[in-house]
Amino acid sequence: MAASYSYFSLTTDFIAYAFLYFILFHFVKRFRLGRNQARRLPPGPKGWPVVGALPLLGNMPHVVLARMAKRYGPVMYLKLGAVGVVVASTPDAAKVFLKTLDVNFSNRPIDSGPTNLAYGGQDLVFAEYGPRWKLLRKLCNLHMLGTKALENWAHIRHNEMGHTIRTMLEVSSKGKPVMLAELLSYAMANMIGEVMLGERVFEKTGTEAEEFKDMVVELMTLAGLVNIGDYLPMLAWMDLQGIEGRMKKLRKKFDVMLTRMIKKHTETAQNRKGKPDLLDAIMANRDNSVAERLSDDSVKAVLLELFTAGTDTSSSTIEWAIAEMLKNPAIMKRAQSEMDQVIGRNRRLTESDIPNLPYLRAICKESFRKHPSTPLNLPHVSSHACEVNGYYIPKKTKLLVNIWAIGRDPEVWKDPLEFNPERFLTGLASKMDPRGANFELIPFGAGRRICAGARMGVVLVEYILGVMIHSFDWENGCKNESKMMDMDEVFGLALQKKVPVSAFVSPRLAPDVYA
């Protein structure tokens, strides 16, 4: 779902208000600039008065910032309205910020997005680095996201993929194409729902699942937009783009859904004695001395984050991978050949097969590289002034890591615009881990604020994509020939495919495998 407003769109009304802002506050700004005159900031575009570089970035900022990096270098500094932003665009630059200076950049800015969509930033992503964040991270790792927890709910993933391939088979039998984004969102929401709440949240595909998918996409799109009020605070109350109004309306819809889920979960607590799920664990720790702020809104914020980030980021990576293979059928054929040799056609792929499927894993890494779900890493903010590569980085500077640019850097990757899984089969690339160890490939970020669901994301992408490739042959289902291989992106917090994948599938395994 494309956003109504461009990422950095500036309306005529806004420009008029911006000049008013300039007239009122230019003396203060000039004083501050003079005070820092002797300090050497990283290079970057000068931008315009008041609005800075905001108008330069358009609605695909990750692409524009990647172009700017070729001119200004791997560490750039931009003034976006009243806010200073530093952008890291190479593996070495990202490593400095996310490893060497990790502690200084361990917090995230709380602006209109987390305020309105994450209950004031009370979720795991935006919580202040400290005891409360550590408790939430510990609980999520222990019951959902850690290695042991992932092993414990492998049967849930297996059962849900059984539902998924049967749904795909049913759609195929009617001669209809599979709408991949909706199907993936439905499957992942059910997997996550069983772990968090002890039950599938959608019993069947249809209107409710479609509405949930639309809500998730809208949230990720709105969270990716820049609200002018965040960068020109004196104009925030006007909500010139209407973004905050849309956020509040969407939050109310999610709040109704989450309140209903929590109420039902509380009423069925007796059924889970001895087998607590994630929500049980969070509720049991609400009275913990370091978690005294775990209010109802805190609980909802964590659930909302896991549902939305857990469904949309992994599903977008899988959709991009399928799209690339529809465009390059030889890649899918090679993956299927590998699976037939290792697994055969008389049973379904299991997670224990994946270590024996290097080409499948290479496909996943290549999709993480070329189509990272979050093209610009979620912003960090500096707690103190610091120095990077001889440049001064002021306190409270926002940090963006251009993961998309790193994955397409010709200095790092040969023929970076090609989708070529073979690059991950040999040499140093074959040993790369997408979970933050190698800064050439950081789809989940890196450092102490790496995405908490990085392990889960890799498991979900490898397993779900593997099952879909092994279970079916695929054919593009888009009726519009001009859009058949459209690989355009829609920017948001997660990088969506502009034209969703619609594909005809046909079963390739023994009939009883789908039963």
pLDDT in tens, 244-288: 999 999 999 989 988 888 888 888 877 777 778 888 888 887 766
| Residue 9 confidence class, pLDDT cut points 50, 70, 90 | very low
The beta strands (E) that lie in 131-253 are given as 178-179
Q: How confident is the model at residue 37 (pLDDT cuts 50, 70, 90)?
A: very low
DSSP strands (E only) in 63-120:
75-80, 83-88
The whole-angstrom separation of Cα 140 and Cα 281 is 9
More confident of the two residues 116 and 36: 116
pLDDT at 279: 86
Check: CB of residue 177 under 8 Å from CB of residue 502.
yes
- Residue 25 pLDDT > 80, yes or no? no
Backbone angles phi and psi of 463, in degrees to 5 = -75, -50
Mean pLDDT of 336-341: 98
Three-state DSSP state, 262 = helix
Nearest to 132 by CA among 305, 301, 293: 293
Whose CA is closest to 154, among 191, 204, 115, 206? 191
Kindly tell me the number of DSSP H helices and DSSP E strands found in the chain. 17, 11
- Two tokens, residue 409: 């850097």
Q: What is the pLDDT of residues 283-322, one digit of tens each?
A: 887 766 555 557 788 888 888 888 888 778 899 999 999 9
φ/ψ of 393, rounded to 5, equals -115, 110
- Which pair of tokens denotes residue 470? 């092994």
Q: What is the pLDDT of residues 258-270, one digit of tens each?
A: 888 888 888 887 7
Both tokens of residue 37?
Answer: 């005159």
Per-residue confidence (pLDDT) for residue 1, from 0 to 100: 38
Count other Cβ atoms within 10 Å, centred on residue 137: 17
State the DSSP string of 335-355. HHHHHHHHT-SSS---GGGGG
Q: Rounded CA gap, 261 and 254, in Å?
A: 11
CA 484 to the chain's CA centroid: 25
- Torsion over CA of 368, 63, 225 and 191, rounded to 10 degrees? -10
Superfamily for the 12-514 domain: Cytochrome P450 (1.10.630.10)
Q: Transcribe 301-328 into DSSP letters.
A: HHHHHHHHHHHHHHHHHHHHHHHHHHH-
Segment 50-55 mean pLDDT: 91
pLDDT of 12 higher than 60: no
Short-list 335, 316, 302, 272, CA closest to 114:
302
- Is the confidence at residue 36, as pLDDT, over 90? no
Q: What pLDDT sits at residue 479?
A: 62
Predicted confidence at residue 288, as pLDDT, reads: 63
How far is it, in rounded angstroms, from Cα 114 to Cα 120? 6
Q: Could you give the angle at the alpha carbon of 92 between the alpha carbons of 44 and 382, nearest 5°?
A: 60
What's the whole-number mean pLDDT along residues 110-119? 87
| pLDDT at res. 92 | 97
What is the amino acid identity at position 477? G
Are 51 and 81 in contact, with CB atoms under 8 Å apart? Answer: yes
pLDDT above 70: percentage of residues in the chain: 89
Q: Structure tokens of 462? A: 């490898």
CA-closest candidate to residue 382, choices 310, 330, 469, 449: 449
pLDDT value at residue 135: 86
Position 35 pLDDT exceeds 60: no
- Asked whether the predicted pLDDT for residue 181 surpasses 70, the reply is yes
Q: Where exactly are the structural domains of the chain?
A: 12-514
**What is the structure's pLDDT at 272?**
78
Residue 297: predicted pLDDT: 85
The model's confidence at residue 222, banded by pLDDT at 50, 70 and 90, is confident
Q: How confident is residue 11, by pLDDT bands cut at 50, 70 and 90?
A: very low
Task: Give the three-class secondary structure for 164.
Answer: helix
CA-based angle 85:87:91, to the nearest 5?
Answer: 155
| Phi, psi (degrees; rounded to nearest 5) at 315 | -65, -35
Instruction: Looking at mean pLDDT, say which of 56-65, 210-219, 254-263 comes out highest.
Output: 56-65
Helix (H, G, I), strand (E, B) or coil at 505: strand
SS3 call for 490: strand
The percent of the chain in helix, strand and coil, each rounded to the nearest 5, is 55, 10, 35
Predicted pLDDT of residue 204: 63
Per-residue confidence band for 4, with pLDDT thresholds at 50, 70 and 90: very low
Q: pLDDT digit string (tens) for 186-208? A: 899 889 888 888 888 777 655 66
Q: What DSSP character marks residue 289?
A: G
Please name the residues in contact with 244: beta carbons below 8 A apart, sequence gap of 6 or more: 112, 116, 227, 229
Q: How confident is the model at residue 158 (pLDDT cuts 50, 70, 90)?
A: very high
Q: How many CA atoms lie within 13 A of 77 on its CB side?
A: 17
Q: Write out the two tokens for 382.
A: 């500096």
> pLDDT at position 23, please?
52
Using CB atoms within 10 A of its CB, is residue 46 exposed (0-12), middle (13-18) or buried (19+)? exposed
pLDDT band at residue 19 using 50, 70 and 90 as cut-offs: low
pLDDT > 70? residue 61: yes
pLDDT tens for 73-108 read 999 999 999 999 999 999 999 999 999 999 999 999
pLDDT in tens, 339-384: 999 999 999 999 999 999 999 999 999 999 999 989 999 999 999 9
Q: What's residue 209's pLDDT? A: 67
